[in-house]
Amino acid sequence: MPHPPRYPSWALIFVLALGAGLFMVFVGFRAQHLVDQRFDPYFFGKMGASIARGDGFLPFGTLISRRAPLYPLAIGGVYWVFGERPMLVLLLQCLLHAGTCTLIYNLTRRLFGQRAAVIAGAACAVHPMLLRYVPDLHLETLFTFLFTLTVWLTERFSRTRDVRSGAMLGVVFGLATLTKSVILLYPGLFAVAVFIGSARAKSRLPIAGLATMFVTMALVIAPWTARNYAATGHFVPVSSGLSDAFLRGLIFSRTEFITLQKPPYIDAENESNAYFRDLCRAAGTEWQRDDWETDQILNKEMKRRFVAEPWLNVRRFFVGLFTFWYQMTSLATSTVAGGFALVAWVFAVLGLRRAIRERRPAWLLLLPIIYLNLLLAALLALGRYSAPILPCLIALAAFGLDGLLPKRSAPRA
């Protein structure tokens, strides 16, 4: 009779991911020369320090320069309790990375079985794109955890279809939106998918559960929306920056940047900033002097170029479908990101075919991938923006790989 494993698989996945994160924090990030080693490139740590001192977001603009608040608030909370110790934030990010891998293990086990779950959890634990954002102050590790948790909860809701599951899902949707607002529209898409699935199955629509999801999400976001209204006198649910991303995308999607003949994070970024300065100067003001004012100037330019250059926008969209998976800071990092994404997609297609054949609900993983890829292809599709949906893609790929491996024989009596 076979002996049960000494340690549960989820615990081994958690330890593997935690160890990989700690290695990146203490050894890997300092030893590498592929990515920028600036610790706080987007000033989230400075925001956290300001919050811990009691100054809030005041030094960072009325709409905190297109950022969402949860990540700097989390850093500020750590600094307020323990003092300004960035290493504690990195240790928290190691735990979040381990949590993401454990969630995707559990979700894959529910959908596809134990062996696929182990493959998915282990692959996420050591995936370079996920580890990249653990040892410095990028929001991707927190956002990936929350995004994966929302997918985990959508699977739960699809089974239970009750108010309690809807409430939990709404809370996490709200927290994820307050980390990065690109997820704001996904709950609506998920609700449409649930309605379509219910209609096809001729089952009762979970109206109460979905309504609860939307209400709780709105309640979580509402305090920040009220803060934005008090600061600007205008309704801004989470953050500004739609037009900024749209206009940057027109530059980043040019041939010299998508082929990496020129470094997009340097040349395209500098050209975008110069473009915005010129627009604001022509309007008689200064770029980023006032977040709302800058956003209105860029909104006007976005509308003009959307109407005047339709084919350029179509081209940008189709280019963005691909740059979303690879466009990083250099040829080397882009090759790594694109190579891993390509391999994952090959196995994910096999996993999707198998899931369709076996009538497994793979749409719960595929829908968020498609949503984020399409949305950002229409705006600004950079390689690091694919990080939050990589666990979902890896889960599908793990199921595809599992189908190619020899079937396990039943244990002898």
Would you say residue 296 has pLDDT above 80? yes
Cα(394)–Cα(408) distance, rounded to whole angstroms?
22
Comparing 265 with 173, the larger pLDDT belongs to: 173
Query: CA-CA-CA-CA torsion for 384, 388, 392, 398, nearest 10 degrees?
Result: 50
pTM for the whole thing? 0.95
Model confidence band, residue 411 (pLDDT cutoffs 50, 70, 90): very low
Would you say residue 1 has pLDDT above 80? no
In 3D space, the residue among 112, 116, 90 whose CA is nearest the CA of residue 13 turns out to be: 116
Q: Is 381 exposed, middle or buried (0-12, 13-18, 19+ CB in 10 A)?
A: buried
Reported as a single tens digit per residue, the pLDDT across 239-267 is 989 999 999 999 999 999 999 999 998 99
* DSSP class per residue in 182-195: GGTTHHHHHHHHHH
| Most confidently modeled range among 25-29, 40-44, 271-275 | 271-275
What is the greatest pairwise CA distance in the chain?
83
Model confidence band, residue 413 (pLDDT cutoffs 50, 70, 90): very low
Average pLDDT over residues 322-340: 91
Provide the pLDDT for residue 3.
59
Reported as a single tens digit per residue, the pLDDT across 366-403 is 999 999 999 999 999 999 999 999 999 999 999 999 99
Average pLDDT, the chain: 94
Model confidence band, residue 407 (pLDDT cutoffs 50, 70, 90): confident
| Most confidently modeled range among 24-38, 297-311, 324-338 | 297-311
